[in-house]
Amino acid sequence: DAKTTQPNSMESNEEEPVHLPCNHSTISGTDYIHWYRQLPSQGPEYVIHGLTSNVNNRMASLAIAEDRKSSTLILHRATLRDAAVYYCILRDHDMRFGAGTRLTVKP
Amino acid sequence: GAVVSQHPSWVICKSGTSVKIECRSLDFQATTMFWYRQFPKQSLMLMATSNEGSKATYEQGVEKDKFLINHASLTLSTLTVTSAHPEDSSFYICSATLAGGPDTQYFGPGTRLTVL
């Protein structure tokens, strides 16, 4: 199984950008990089995914390293509602979650 | 967007009873559904993967006779916790993959099970 490594926690100030890193040095050529987030007492929510090129959507941007061994989820302007646990996952045949990064947003 | 529902959202039961949790894809057909369990302050733990019309594939350490999974249609999967005990108390979450689409997972809101 391809594995991911993320920092346990990060803090950000409201209205500032947040860069959430993820290392996946054993990624295979066909693994998509998916990001999800989970608010307290809720199911995870899809954020973004990509394969090789950087991706943007209304929620976030995903920057993927050229060697694909790491990626960064970028929240351009953090809000209090972005406080959650963010999971970086390599989509192969199943969906095993790592510990994720708990993002705290300070007003 | 694709919506997944779970029912019930919470349930309290007595030890020794069985509890059924439903997972439905409301506006899409799901070829594969996943069941997770999450204990407080921990990450999601994959329990099993189920494909419509076939037997579920259970993760190592998950008892298939205790956690019965049925995936009878492309929009419904059920998880039955049989002879529940207090240690089975947890947050159970399902997810579904869009048939013929990318492998994005759409998650249900979760079911909080408390076994007394």
CA atoms within 13 A on the CB side of A80: 2
- Provide the residue type at B65 as one letter: D
pLDDT at A86: 98
Name the pLDDT band for A103 (thresholds 50, 70, 90).
very high
In the 8-state DSSP scheme, what is residue A82?
G
Residue B109 has pLDDT above 60, yes or no: yes
Q: Which of A13-17, B73-77, B96-100, B105-109 has the lowest mean pLDDT?
A: B96-100
Cα dist. B44→A10, A35, A74, B50, B99 in Å?
20, 14, 23, 17, 23
Q: How close does chain B come to A27, measured CA to CA in Å?
A: 16
Over A27-74, what HEC string results? CCCCCEEEEEEECCCCCCEEEEEECCCCEECCCCEEEECCCCCEEEEE
Candidates A37, A59, A96, partner chain B, best to mutate (most B CBs within 10 A): A96
Q: Which of A10-24, B70-84, B91-105 has the lowest mean pLDDT?
A: B91-105
User: Which residue, among A78, A75, A80, A45, has the nearest Cα to A60 in the 3D structure?
Assistant: A75
What would the pLDDT profile of A31-70 be if each residue is shown by its tens digit? 889 999 999 899 999 999 999 999 999 999 999 999 999 9
Q: Which of B43, B91, B107 is facing A99, going by the closest CB pair?
A: B43
Cβ-contact A19, A6 below 8 angstroms: no
Task: State the best of B35, B43, B106, B113 to mutate against chain A, taking most chain A CBs within 10 Å.
Answer: B43
Rounded to an integer, what distance in angstroms lies between the CA atom of residue A77 and that of residue B90? 34
Chain A residue at shortest CA distance from B35: A95
Write phi, then psi, for B54 (nearest 5 degrees): -130, 170
- Closest-CA distance of chain B to residue A55, Å: 15
Within 8 A by CB and 6+ apart from A53, the residues are A64
